[in-house]
Amino acid sequence: MIKYFGLLLLTILIISCGDDKKSDTETADKDESDTISLSPEELFSSTLLEDILQSSEDDDLKSYLEEEIYPIVSNSTKVTIDRVSASLYLLSYDENGVQKNFIIQKFYNPSNLEMYFEINETETNAVDQYLK
């Protein structure tokens, strides 16, 4: 009797492990297909916001990165962004072997109830500014 119970338990364990592997594969396939369906601009903004800033809640910044910043940095070999404050970002990128830096500042216009951004080139980078 105990022998059959052990065999039944082993069978259930093997079947449930097989289902987990299938779910992991399906999830990986789904994640890969989501990435493939993004435009280069969307992939750029998603990578900077989600992977580097670890935040995906700022749709205004996402749109600004896609529409205004991506055309400037699309040929760069490396790009990064740092959040300095809730409304200030430091974006660094490589342009022909020279590091360029932008301060991106977010503003609110109460007269038309809209958010907007301004960008200024700066000599300051995150390493010089924060790691002394």
The count of structural domains within the chain is 1
**Do the domain assignments include residue 29?**
no
- Strand positions, DSSP E, 2-129: 79-85, 88-95, 98-109, 114-122
CATH number, domain containing residue 82:
3.10.450
**Do the domain assignments include residue 61?**
yes
**Do the domain assignments include residue 118?**
yes
Q: Domain of 70?
A: 38-130
**Do the domain assignments include residue 18?**
no
- Choose among 42, 89, 37: nearest CA to 70: 42
**Do the domain assignments include residue 124?**
yes
The pTM is what? 0.68
**Do the domain assignments include residue 15?**
no
| pLDDT at site 55 | 86
| pLDDT at site 51 | 93
| Contact by Cβ (8 Å): 65, 53 | no
**Do the domain assignments include residue 1?**
no
Residue ranges, the chain, pLDDT below 50: 20, 22
**Do the domain assignments include residue 66?**
yes
